[in-house]
Amino acid sequence: MKQLISLGIIAEYNPFHLGHAYHMEKAREMTKADLVIVIMSGNNIQRGEPALVDKYTRAQMALRNGADLVIELPVIAACSSAPYFARGSMALLNKLKVPYLCVGSESGDLSRLNRIVELLESNNPLLDLKIKESVAAGLSYPLARSRALQSLLKETDGNPTEYDEILSMPNNILGIEYLLEIQRNHYPITPVTITRSGNHYNDSSLTGSLSSATAIRNSILKNGMIPQNAIPQSVYELLTKYSDHHYFPSIDDFSQIIFYRLLELQQKKVETEDDFIADLPEYLLNKLWKSMKHCHSATQLIETVKSKDLTYTRISRALLHLILNIKNKDYAEFMENPCRYIRVLGFNDTGASYLSTIKKTLDCPLISKTANFSEYLKADIFAADIYNMVVNSHSKTPLADDYRHKIIRL
């Protein structure tokens, strides 16, 4: 039997849209891959918010539109900043022996991304100094690093505006982190990139067929309209059916849980730094405690607290860690071993064939039955239970929990 050549794509598909379909099709063409393996976030996304629909429905979207195998990115990586998100994703692809990674980027220029990686890995003392100066001036670390890189690249490469744009775009930033992980760990993964088509990641308005996921979510959450021309027909059918039975959540639906957890922390004395909630230092916690008395929703609280050094995403991610009780020690364990297991969400016949071959060489559990590995999946199960609890309180039909939900097979 011919050995299948696999291609990896890292995604949230929140929801899957026509830009994603284009990306998957072009990635297959570029790499001549026999199958596409998607590493996908679960019920919580990197921005620190709940996904529009549950992970199994989003896995169906992917499988109906070109994916052959969907693997869940563990929650500790999925709701983290770019370096952790990339660390978990690349470790999974490496375990699965995936030779190609396709990065969707705004630049579409791998050489430029590699130049930035080269500079980050050069141990340049001037870069470190510039970052420290910017952080001391009140900038967040990601923005400080970006400014420092821009400054050095202007001096060495002489094309400042091009790098300014590259370092300001979210898909480029993630792509850089993927490349860093591959290089640092000597993973045998060859990256390729495709230029992102349509409007930008954060554009909130629908603009024809290649609208962003942000614009599509806004249309659904704020206007109650599923934009049929911006998504594949199969996704439109899935979302329409989903809306007949289930609720589309936003971060504000978790407001009472957030406020309760903040009040609970006021009553507790945390003994060690390991037990602190991840990304929730004391100065941010004090700001949240002070502001929550005057706020009625999670969004209002985040907007009140955000500042030059505390972005909206930074705060919402910290609050998600608070909801899910993800602590500093959990990240320390994750950094030591970023791929303790591989959890399958769905596959087709091609994906099943690949799994049957690859599982013989894996050195970590390949999980298809939740009950058999509940200790490994404790954090993911808890995250799914919290998500389901909120969604089900507004839904006609409850979502099945992780123990009862079957793997998606097409």
- Summarize pLDDT for 316-355 with one digit per residue, the tens: 999 999 999 999 999 999 999 999 999 999 999 999 999 9
pLDDT at 197: 62
Q: Is the pLDDT of residue 205 over 70?
A: no
Write down the pLDDT at residue 204.
54
User: Average pLDDT over the chain, rounded to whole?
Assistant: 92
139-198 confidence digits (pLDDT tens): 778 788 888 888 888 777 766 567 777 887 888 889 999 999 999 999 999 999 998 665
How many whole angstroms separate alpha carbon 299 and alpha carbon 302? 5
Q: What percent of the chain has pLDDT over 90?
A: 74
Looking at residue 279, its pLDDT comes to 94
Tell me the pLDDT tens digit for each residue of 9-31: 999 999 999 999 999 999 999 99
Secondary structure of the chain in HEC code, one letter for each residue: CCCCCEEEEEECCCCCCHHHHHHHHHHHHHHCCCEEEEEEECCECCCCCECCCCHHHHHHHHHCCCCCEEEEECHHHHCCCHHHHHHHHHHHHHHCCCCEEEEEECCCCHHHHHHHHHHHCCCCHHHHHHHHHHHHCCCCHHHHHHHHHHHHHHHHHCCHHHHHHHCCCHHHHHHHHHHHHHHHHCCCCEEEEEECCCCCCCCCCCCCCCCCHHHHHHHHHHHCCCCHHHCCHHHHHHHHHHHHHCCCCCHHHHHHHHHHHHHHHHHCCCCCHHHCECCCCHHHHHHHHHHHCCCCCHHHHHHHHCCCCCCHHHHHHHHHHHHHCCEHHHHHHHHHCCCCCEEEEEECHHHHHHHHHHCCCCCCCEECCHHHHCCCCHHHHHHHHHHHHHHHCCCCCCCCCCCCCCCEEC
Looking at 72-86, 134-148, 233-247, which range is the least confident one?
134-148
Q: Report the pLDDT value the prediction gives residue 34, as an integer from 0 to 100.
A: 95
pLDDT band for position 202 (cuts 50, 70, 90): low
Contacts (Cβ under 8 Å, ≥6 apart) of 155: none
Provide the residue ranges of all domains of the chain, joining segments of one domain with +: 6-106+173-200+337-409, 122-167, 252-334
The sign of the CA dihedral 273, 277, 278, 282 is negative
Contact present, 217 and 16 (Cβ < 8 Å): no
CATH architecture of 6-106+173-200+337-409: 3-Layer(aba) Sandwich (3.40)
Question: According to the model, what pLDDT value does residue 159 have?
Answer: 61
Q: Quick one: pLDDT at residue 145?
A: 86
Helices 170-185/82-95 angle, 10° precision: 50
| Whether the predicted pLDDT of 56 surpasses 70 | yes
Residue 299 has pLDDT above 80, yes or no: yes
Stretch 380-392: mean pLDDT: 98
**pLDDT score at 198:** 53
